[in-house]
Structure 1
Amino acid sequence: MNEYGQIFLCTDGGIYRSINSSSTWEHLELNTTRFNTIGTIYINSSQLLLAGSDFGIFRSTDNGNSWSIPGSSSGKDIRAFTKDSSENIYAGTYRDGILISQDFGKTWNNFALSNISIFDIFIGSNHQILAATRDGIYRSMDGGATWEFSNIANMTFKDFALSSEEDIYVCADYAIFMSPDYGKSWNQLNYFGPYLEDIYVNDDNEIFVGTASGVFSSYDKGLTWNQFGMEGKLILSLKQDSLENFFAGTLGKGLFYLEKGGTDWVEENIGLSATTIRHIDINSTGDIFVTTDAKKISFSIDNGETWIDSYISPTQVDAIKIDAHDNIYISAESGVIRSTNSGNSWNRLNFDVSPYFVSSIEINSDMTIFLGTSTGQIYRSTNDGVTWINITPIGTNGFVNTMAGAGGDKIYAGIGSFLYYSQDNGNNWIELDVGVNGTIRSLAAQPSGTIYAGFWGKGIFRSKNDGNNWEECNEGLEDDAVISIQIDDGTGNTFAAVTKSVYQYNEESRSWIKISDGLRTLFLRSLAISPEGYLFAGTQNYGLYRSSKIVFRKPLPATYFLNQNYPNPFNSITTIEFSIPQTGFTTLTIFNALGQKVETLIADHLEADSYSIRWNASGLTSGIYFYRLQSNNFTDSKKLVLVQ
């Protein structure tokens, strides 16, 4: 925080600045094509900012509006900044010791402790220097000319804090130490709490620590400790402003604020996206469902503009799959939960692999359910999840990372570094030889026999004949760590997510075209295609991104068609799909068994396209109903059965 009260936030996606006490945030452009993790920042009173990244130092002299990169720091992994009374600035690095700048960060030179990782630096008023390292603390009493090493404990030492009484505190992995004599001797405090990340001591000598499970405080110099909120969150950084309000930076949960004297921490993430999106799937009407690292299932019915939490699990939620009838299956609680009403309620299937978990879910066109587990097993249910049989290929060893149906009874499974194929719903398997050794992270298949296999660190391979022959398919990719491959069923458009970029395959040039403008992340987790032709990308710590424009358009329908609603019979909610090849006034109307109009779902001028409408009949009684589509000179009706 600078003297004007502006707050600067270091993240694994660059630097954010708030000029209104964290109410809103703006992302600062660092003038680099590389996506940098910013781990530390230095601020002085003349609008000088230094940002330490995993690939060097960024320097700004105008409060972060523009940045330059001192060449002498390039390639260094910067972990800490501090300065001495002569305005010399010191930087602690990973495996490159301490650097020094004597010209306000314009140039940098090696200073001391070469080849040692330095996680924090403390400089006293009389040239004392302390350096926190992986194995202990280095101490110099002559401005860095000579050093002595204190092997206090076999831990990584992370952060220093100075009290108003000139006592120095340092936190290590699971312990806190205090020195009354500038590091000559150290006393361990009475702390036996969670794993430590950061320490802060205020002017009243009250100690606060950020841990793997919230904030803890001590008001008696470390004799006793109490939880200070933020339970269950990993706290990476703690700071107090001039008004004694607290700010806590977390891993994957963003920034939180605690007003002086308050007890409730408030999330301060407007302009920040701090959620890890583990998996995404999108139903036939365009509703988006995601699983997050906050153990939540959330959904959006407005293309990602707003979100509703549908389910909070006691354990991590992960894989997600939506079937042809818009039933949603999600890996949770060492098994699978399912919603048949668009996420309004959830029921657990009769499947449990405790203490392990379901790592992959696939559902084929005849509604057969396949579950892959973290133990390398594959299970199948042909009766809606009531009973299961083990259909694991013989001799497998690994983690079922991915499965892909290819129409009919065809299914592929990536288990560790092996790819298996079955033409009979998993009764028999054959191992496919892709010609490369690596972990299979993603599969995407089509009924035509085309199959894409994405490997971690090996790129993408493709077969056009059910896996009998393979070709490398990496032209245009700038990264070979594949996260996800998705094929749009209607058009055949193919997309791939690698570590931090998204690509679309161009069949004519036989190469991948990068389409990542505006996507800011160090690590992608998932990819999905909406019925409207938008791409959605889930990221590590930076939420969900939507493509700024439609990436493809589906061909217009050739004929009028009214599909049978699904599910049918149904309980409260069902989906009706129809296609119109010509623009015109269109109505979709519900009637009861007596022919009386119950509800008009559509009465509007519609463009030629395919449509999907969800009908909520929760206010009606059980019985037989009919729905009728009229558009131009076309009319068709079908029967539906409501069972409340």
Structure 2
Amino acid sequence: MQKLFISQKIILISVFSVLTFNFCNCQWIISSNGFGNNNFVYSLLPVNNSIFMGSTGVYISTNNGNYWSQTTFDSLSVSALALKENTIFACTYTNGVHYSTNYGSTWLQTQSSFSDIWSLTVSGNNIIAGTTTGLYLTSNNGQNWNQNALTNIVINTLISDGNIVFAGTYYNGVYKSTNYGFNWVQTSLNNQTVWSFAINGSNLYAGTRYNGIFLSTNNGTDWIQTGMNNQTVLSIALYGANILAGTYQNGVFYSTNNGISWNQKNDGFSTTPSINSLLIFNNFIFAGTQGQSIWKRLISDFVTVQNVSQDLPGNYLLKQNYPNPFNPNTNIGYNIKQNSEIKIVIYDLLGKEISIPVNEKQSPGEYEFNFDGSALNSGIYFYSLYVNGKLIENKRMVLLK
């Protein structure tokens, strides 16, 4: 595992999540109950407290993937899913775009006569579909579709961020629209096959065929290769500076330093799979595969800890976070004087448990982790240090957005 050395401390990279106590498998476990062990998963979509899955038809799980139920859309291969307000759209390889206004109970087909649809995204009032013959766009929820751009270019993947939309193509790189998908220009990444995208703030990641992941920090004007040479990246998931990459025939890679270095994380898979789709949802990372169903593991399992301090603390101590107030990230440190079961719990003002970023046995040392509050509302929060089940200390922190 790649270590991060920053000053003379233990540095722990974590992620905001609400952890479930009765799930502690530190490896990938199959999550196929109700779905089957040998099916393809093409797409995953979070909707409120549920996950929708595109496979042969559309499945839904309301309990973090413990069980999947097939919706009435049950016969066509669903290549991509998208959500616009309260309507779920599902595109197919052979029979256009379908939609549901009641969370999958019933489905109707839009007025889409085109086929070979590989990708779907929503930008403003527009729904954009990527096909093997270019882009189609509707501004009225599928009552009418127009082929508006990139004719005869294969569109593998789409992603939107407000009015900006990116299209990843087959051998033609990345195209960009700044007006909700109406007009397009080719970016400087113009000679790659792009299978996947992810956006985090100003960072745009593009997963390519055979050439790993490229990164742009200026909306696609310039690109740098982050590594993973010779890998085909079919899916990308992000949390903070941490990147997870689903590859063709090589499972899952991850980076805790924004792509500078990479490691594989395939323990638990029966055989190393191809990962079509990755989704971070609640406290889990889900991996949809090609013919090996769907798997999951705790996102907290992607934690890197390294003790580089030569001084052993003389007592247990919970430090004040910094910066404080913060938006949206802050650092929380603590000291451990002997081998102990350590738990850090984040609470809201009413005492509701929000996150458990640390819950493991640790050796003596000085620790620090980065807490991401981007999913929280502004307000006062508390964090507590527990040692061997006993409360040691509480601190207060303020999130201002």
TM-score tier by shorter-chain length is 0.5 to 0.7
Following superposition, the deviation at residue 95 of structure 1 comes to 1.1
Superposition deviation, residue 224 in structure 1? 2.7
- Cα distance change of structure 1 residues 102 and 219 upon mapping to structure 2, 3 Å threshold: same
Q: Deviations over 1:359-392 (max 9, x none)?
A: xxxxxxxxxxxxxxxxxxxxxxxxxxxxxxxxxx
Shift of 1:5: 6.4
| Superposed counterparts of 1:446-457, under 5 Å | none
**Correspondence for 1:145:** 143
Larger radius of gyration: 1
Contact 2:118 2:131 in 1 (8 A): yes
Against the structure 1 CA distance between its residues 5 and 153, is the aligned structure 2 distance closer, same or farther, given a 3 Å change threshold?
farther
Measured in 1, the distance between the counterparts of 2:123 and 2:259 equals 33
C-alpha contact (below 8 Å) 2:41/2:291 kept by paired residues: no
**Alignment partner, residue 194 of structure 1:** 192
- Per-residue CA distance 1:113-151 (angstroms, 9 max, x = gap): 1451222222233x3111111111111122322221124
Equivalent positions of 1:44-83 (< 5 A) are: 44-46=47-49, 48-53=50-55, 55-70=56-71, 72-83=72-83
Q: 1:31 aligns with which of 34, 43, 46?
A: 34
Listed as ranges, the matches of 1:4-403 within 5 Å are 4=17, 23-32=26-35, 35-46=38-49, 48-53=50-55, 55-70=56-71, 72-85=72-85, 87-125=86-124, 127-163=125-161, 166-174=163-171, 175-204=173-202, 206-213=203-210, 214-241=212-239, 243-261=240-258, 263-275=260-272
Partner SS state of residue 143, structure 1: coil
Instruction: Give the AA of the match of 2:80.
Output: A
Give yes or no for contact 1:238–1:246 (8 Å, CA) kept in 2.
yes
* Aligned mates of 2:139, 2:35 — CA distance in 1: 39
* 1:94 CA displacement: 0.8
The whole-number CA distance in structure 1 between the counterparts of 2:257 and 2:32 is 32
Distance change (3 Å), C-alpha of 1:239 and 1:112: farther
Q: Deviations over 1:542-576 (max 9, x none)?
A: xxxxxxxxxxxxxxxxxxxxxxxxxxxxxxxxxxx
Return 5+ residue gaps in structure 1 as ranges: 8-17, 277-519, 524-644
Alpha-carbon deviation of 1:6? 7.8
SS at match of 1:155: coil
1:219-618 aligned within 5 A: 219-241=217-239, 243-261=240-258, 263-275=260-272, 522=291
Contact in 2 for aligned 1:163/1:202 (Cα 8 Å): no
Secondary structure, counterpart of 1:222 in structure 2 = coil
Instruction: Say if 1:253 and 1:274, in contact at 8 Å, map to a contact too.
Output: no
Higher RCO, 1 vs 2 (CA within 8 Å, ≥6 residues apart): 2
SS in 2 for 1:103: coil
Aligned to 2:351: none
TM-score by length of 2: 0.59
Task: Letter of the 2:51 partner, please give it.
Answer: L
Aligned partners of 1:252 and 1:274 also within 8 Å: no
Give the Cα separation in 2 of the matches to 1:250 and 1:41.
16
Residues 522/199 of structure 1: CA separation in 2 closer, same or farther (3 Å cut): closer
Letter in 1 for 2:192: P
Deviation track 1:527-550 (CA, whole Å, cap 9, x = no partner) reads xxxxxxxxxxxxxxxxxxxxxxxx
Conserved in 2, the CA contact under 8 Å of 1:82 and 1:121? yes
C-alpha distance in 1, partners of 2:290/2:137? 38
Moved more, 144-153 or 210-219: 144-153
Q: CA deviation at 1:195?
A: 2.0
Letter of the 2:232 counterpart = L
1:537 is matched with which residue?
none
Cα distance, 1:212–1:95 mapped onto 2, change above 3 Å? same
How many residue pairs are counted as aligned between the two chains? 260
- 2:261 aligned partner, one-letter code: D
TM-score, length basis structure 1: 0.38
Rounded Cα–Cα distance in structure 2 between residues aligned with 1:3 and 1:118: 34
2:149 touches 2:182 (CA, 8 Å); kept in 1?
A: no
Q: How far 1:79 moved relative to its partner?
A: 0.7
CA 1:115/1:163 → structure 2, altered by over 3 Å: closer, same or farther?
closer
Equivalent pair of 1:211/1:235 in contact (CA under 8 Å)? yes
Structure 2 residues without counterparts, runs of 5 or longer = 1-14, 274-288, 293-401
Residues 40 and 290, structure 2, Cα contact 8 Å, conserved in 1? no
